[in-house]
Structure 1
Amino acid sequence: MIYIVIPVFNRKHYTRECLLSLRKGTNKDYKVIVVDDGSTDGTADMLRREFPEVEVLFGNGSLFWTASVNLGIRHALQAGAQYIMTLNNDLEVAPDFLENTYKFIPVKPSAVIGALELDALTREPAFGGEIIDFKRNKVRYLLQELPKDKQKGLHRVSQLPGRGLLIPRTVFETVGLFDQDNFPHYVADYDFTHTALRHGFELYCNYDAKLYTYPEESGERQNRKSKSVRNFYKHLFDIKGGGNLRDFTRFTLKNCPRPYIPYYLVNGYARRILGYVLK
């Protein structure tokens, strides 16, 4: 059984639709753990009333993404979970999502496997894994390189986000949980997958397991829509800032090969500062 950990804070309409999409799936062999970090919009009541099968853990509003996920993971591991999936609430899964997830577990039982993301509104593929080049500070987006007839099955990548991320128990036993001390909200998923890769675990994106996401609803996208000095500061320094310089620095020092760190940092700082203004 896959234990699915979903961190939430308000936005109960997204949580409802996410859980309904799982309920409609062709594979029912899963257990959902929702970590509600202090929601004030009635999320807890909705979960109790509409999804009694879901186990709910509670935070006080100070956990953010990483500590919330870790709370759910610890609980799942204590329950004996062999496979855990992290899933955000602002997405929906295709009916055969879990069926196609289970299909590849016997093929790569120790691998960390992500999912193909499609835009929920257009149903067009939006994200299919990344391959990072630290030396040149560039990221290759695999989806842009693969012809249509090759966009299926497993494809090797070098980093993955936490949306629909399947993680075997043995990975946690080897590398530990997500690094909530250094990366309380963003970047923890990329850091975790790099750490797993360094310890010999393969990373794949499963193009048969499809998620439907709402990219324009992310906090960072909303921040960019209304540009101001205040939002620029939040972009660079807020715990939920997509260009957070502290998180980027810590990620670089921890994961970038030492010879490339100076250039990677300088280039990355420029991208985050200028990118907010120009995009």
Structure 2
Amino acid sequence: MDYIQSIKLAILMTCHNRRDTTLRCLKALYQQDINFDVYLVDDGSSDGTYDAVSTAYPEVKILQGNGNLFWVGGMRLAFSEAIKRGYDYYLWLNDDIVLESTALHRLLNSHYQLKQQLQPDSIIVGSTKDTFTHQTTYGGQKQQKRWYSRKFVTVEAGTELQECETMNGNCVLIPNSVVVKVGNLDPAFIHIMGDLDYGLRARKQGCSIWIAPGFIATCSRNSVRGSWADTKLSLLQRLRKVTQPKAFPLKSWTVFTRRHAGFFWWLYWLQPYIRAIIGYQDLSASAFKEG
């Protein structure tokens, strides 16, 4: 559609020490037939990411981090810089994603369709699939309604727009009208939970969240090897890892569960720590992923 070419779109990314992965993501991004600006936070990479990106894509606006921003901190920095310049849309994009050739058109067209239905304050989530199995890896999320478990599970991509409750932040299109209501990512979070929290806060502000039809990109699921959920690690190792920034640091996890898990939030709060102790893996619990 012609209107897409006049849209001001900011692509928000953060990266740390995976130069080739980041370059592969940017290569697919720049094959999209849409105008956009890229805000990339290089969070203290020591593998030459800054120089490689600057050489291959000099138009990318690279912001420097100190190595301690993690996903939420990096995306929050990119988001804040882009907001200063004012865009119609902001796209969260993980640097391990490879977009389909028509991905941005499909995301924007999905939002246009909802605008025509008088739902302009709608976030559009792009579902990703594994490169080899073609199974859904990240995307829209729905929460289980059991009184003892409020974990989030991934919604399978469909052939039509479908509404969900929140989202993984891997590929998410946010219109400016939502940003005006919700603002930036919450600094209470470090690596995980910030994306889920943003979606849940958006819904509380009267916004809606929709999954675009089909798959938007490929992105393999992160392995649990070496994480708090790796049953090959000792109990002490799992307990140390479960409270680290990429897992469930006590302060962030307390904020999230008290804010979103209802009256029995403390039962939900206990779950990752109990799972670390007993060595229980539940790979369907998307809120428990590491990035």
Q: Name the TM-score, length of structure 2 as normaliser.
A: 0.83
- Code of the aligned partner of 2:106: N
The worse-fitting range, judged by mean Cα deviation, of 55-64 and 226-235 is 226-235
Aligned-pair RMSD on alpha carbons? Answer: 2.4
Equivalence for 1:8: 15
1:160 aligned to 2:167? yes
The worse-fitting range, judged by mean Cα deviation, of 259-268 and 247-256 is 259-268
Q: Quick one: which of 207, 210, 221 aligns to 1:204?
A: 210
Structure 1 residue 232 displacement after superposition: 0.5
Contact map agreement 2:42 2:50 (CA 8 A) in 1: yes
1:268 and 1:9 map into 2 onto residues whose CA distance is 26
Please give the residue correspondences for 1:93-104 in structure 2 after superposition, counting only pairs within 5 Å. 93-104=99-110
Q: 3-state DSSP class of the match of 1:75?
A: helix
Identical aligned residues as a percent: 26
Contact map agreement 1:135 1:260 (CA 8 A) in 2: no
Q: 3-state DSSP class of the match of 1:5?
A: strand
Structure 1 residue 221 displacement after superposition: 4.4
- Code of the aligned partner of 2:130: D
Q: 3-state DSSP class of the match of 1:77?
A: helix
Contact map agreement 1:5 1:84 (CA 8 A) in 2: yes
1:123 and 1:228 map into 2 onto residues whose CA distance is 33
1:235 and 1:66 map into 2 onto residues whose CA distance is 18
Q: 1:233 to 1:33 in 2, by over 3 A?
A: same
Structure 1: 5+ residue runs without aligned partners? none
Structure 1 residue 163 displacement after superposition: 0.6
Structure 1 residue 128 displacement after superposition: 4.4
Equivalence for 2:75: 69
1:192 and 1:131 map into 2 onto residues whose CA distance is 14
Q: 1:271 to 1:68 in 2, by over 3 A?
A: same
Structure 1 residue 270 displacement after superposition: 3.2
1:33 and 1:92 map into 2 onto residues whose CA distance is 17
Equivalence for 1:120: 131
Q: 3-state DSSP class of the match of 1:105?
A: helix
Structure 1 residue 142 displacement after superposition: 2.5
Contact map agreement 2:226 2:233 (CA 8 A) in 1: no
1:9 and 1:141 map into 2 onto residues whose CA distance is 26
Q: 1:232 to 1:268 in 2, by over 3 A?
A: closer
Contact map agreement 2:138 2:221 (CA 8 A) in 1: no
Equivalence for 1:130: 141
Equivalence for 1:265: 269
Q: 3-state DSSP class of the match of 2:52?
A: helix
Q: Quick one: which of 201, 206, 220 aligns to 1:214?
A: 220
- Code of the aligned partner of 1:105: H
Q: Quick one: which of 260, 275, 290 aligns to 1:255?
A: 260
Equivalence for 2:60: 54
- Code of the aligned partner of 2:268: Y
Equivalence for 1:237: 243
1:195 aligned to 2:208? no
1:140 and 1:278 map into 2 onto residues whose CA distance is 11
Structure 2: 5+ residue runs without aligned partners? 1-7, 115-119, 284-291
1:110 aligned to 2:121? yes
Contact map agreement 1:100 1:209 (CA 8 A) in 2: no
Structure 1 residue 265 displacement after superposition: 3.2
Structure 1 residue 244 displacement after superposition: 4.2
Q: Name the TM-score, length of structure 1 as normaliser.
A: 0.86
- Code of the aligned partner of 1:206: A
Contact map agreement 2:235 2:276 (CA 8 A) in 1: no
Matched residue pairs, number? 267
1:252 and 1:232 map into 2 onto residues whose CA distance is 21
More helix by share: 1
Contact map agreement 1:134 1:260 (CA 8 A) in 2: no
